[in-house]
Amino acid sequence: MVSRGLVLAAGLLLGAPAQATDVAGIPFQEKIQVDGAELVLNGAGLRKRFFFDVYAIGLYLGARQPDAAQAISAPARKRVQIHMLRDVDAEQFTQALVEGLRANHDDEKYRALEPRVQQLAALMAQVKQARKGMRIALDSTASGTKVLIDGAPAGAPIPGEDFYQALLRIWLGDKPVQDDLKLRLLGKQV
């Protein structure tokens, strides 16, 4: 006969909420809502530059996807959640994004993205600095790429699914900003 305590303990475990994934002390929830869609954490990791931890980042998709090309091209809602671990001025932050975009796109494709890259750069210039502790979300929505700073919308959505896919290539493309980070965002153990 099974004891009531064991049944109660099993019930508590089964009913417990999903645990958050922790990266450098930053929790990433296993499930979130974006633009009315439930997303799951595909993976999370740490962006390092030289000896410095720059940010913790999580990738949320409609369903887990270990393949980079499929994660990039999936036509559903997505989120890249960035938690800054150090202060970075807006120009440096934008320049790092531009470098990642240029590394993963030929000149012609980058030129097609450039007006929207400038829109994102102008938005970041208004913020002036990505401060330690700041949360930056890049959401793929029906109206385009929405940028949220500490949960509040910043600027108008940037149009085009191709722009969001270009942003994802910074971390998931053929020339990612950091190889082990790409693997972690795809949910793979490194």
Domain assignment of residue 4, yes or no: no
Q: Report the pLDDT value the prediction gives residue 109, as an integer from 0 to 100.
A: 95
Q: How confident is the model at residue 18 (pLDDT cuts 50, 70, 90)?
A: low
Domain assignment of residue 7, yes or no: no
Separation CA 23–CA 17 (nearest Å) = 19
The CATH number linked to 122 is 3.50.70.10
Percent of the chain with pLDDT over 90: 75
Q: How confident is the model at residue 19 (pLDDT cuts 50, 70, 90)?
A: low
Q: How confident is the model at residue 17 (pLDDT cuts 50, 70, 90)?
A: very low
Q: Report the pLDDT value the prediction gives residue 108, as an integer from 0 to 100.
A: 96
Q: Report the pLDDT value the prediction gives residue 129, as an integer from 0 to 100.
A: 86
Q: How confident is the model at residue 171 (pLDDT cuts 50, 70, 90)?
A: very high
DSSP codes joined into one string, 154-184: -SSPBP-HHHHHHHHHHHHSSS-S-HHHHHH
Domain range enclosing 167: 19-185
Q: Report the pLDDT value the prediction gives residue 128, as an integer from 0 to 100.
A: 86
Q: How many CB atoms lie within 10 A of CB 102?
A: 16
Domain assignment of residue 169, yes or no: yes
> What's the mean pLDDT in 135-151?
95
Rounded mean pLDDT of the chain? 89
> What's the mean pLDDT in 43-61?
95
> What's the mean pLDDT in 17-34?
87
Domain assignment of residue 190, yes or no: no
Domain assignment of residue 75, yes or no: yes
Q: Report the pLDDT value the prediction gives residue 20, as an integer from 0 to 100.
A: 78
Q: Report the pLDDT value the prediction gives residue 14, as an integer from 0 to 100.
A: 43
Into how many domains does the chain fold?
1
> What's the mean pLDDT in 52-78?
95
Q: How confident is the model at residue 29 (pLDDT cuts 50, 70, 90)?
A: very high
Domain assignment of residue 1, yes or no: no
Domain assignment of residue 145, yes or no: yes
Domain assignment of residue 6, yes or no: no
> What's the mean pLDDT in 65-72?
97
| Angle (CA) 170 172 56, round 5° | 75
Whether the pLDDT of residue 8 is over 50: the answer is: no
